[in-house]
Amino acid sequence: EGKVEEGEKSCDADDAVSEEKDEGGSEDKDDGDSEDHHPRTSGKGKARRGRKRLAAELEEGEALCHVPPFKPDHDTWANLETCLKDYMVLTHQKLVIKEVVHVVRRNADLRTQVRYQGVPDSEIPLIHSELDPYHRKFICTHGWSELTKKPDGT
């Protein structure tokens, strides 16, 4: 108890959960260095960016927070939202939607890719409109000050 294994991560930084309906497209990768992340402070008041720390980087007296894994695949957005609400209650996290990519935007992006220039739409792996929205990116608001949150508390 209290022993930290090498390679484990602490839970006081940004967590992102991303869900896509199509496996064939490019995914947004978030390396934690984006300017839209909010600075975090550790127990000693020093600001740092939203990067998960390794167990070796923990200061004395700090503990790891372990959370169960989140089911990565869902059949519908409604199913995802239900599971996400349960997960937020279980893990005491507040996750909000950071970005939504609609089918129209995704298909436009596909059509502009070099490999699809001059190719008819029938040969491009376009997303069907009934799958809208195509992609949602969720972020954890842990550590955000109340001033950075929306007036409704999200």
Instruction: Report pLDDT digits (tens) over 84-114.
Output: 999 999 888 888 889 999 999 999 999 999 9
pTM of the entire structure?
0.50
Question: Residue 59 has what pLDDT?
Answer: 81
- Contact present, 6 and 55 (Cβ < 8 Å): yes
Alpha carbon distance 137, 20 (integer Å): 9
For 101, the enclosing helix (H) or strand (E) is: strand 95-101
User: Quick one: tokens of 41?
Assistant: 């402070």
Alpha helices in 2-142 (DSSP H): 77-91, 103-112
Question: Residue 16: its pLDDT value, please?
Answer: 40
Measured in whole angstroms, how far is the alpha carbon of residue 100 from the centre of its chain?
Answer: 12
Residue ranges in the chain whose pLDDT is less than 70: 1-50, 146-154
pLDDT score at 111: 95
24 neighbors 146 (Cβ within 8 angstroms):
no
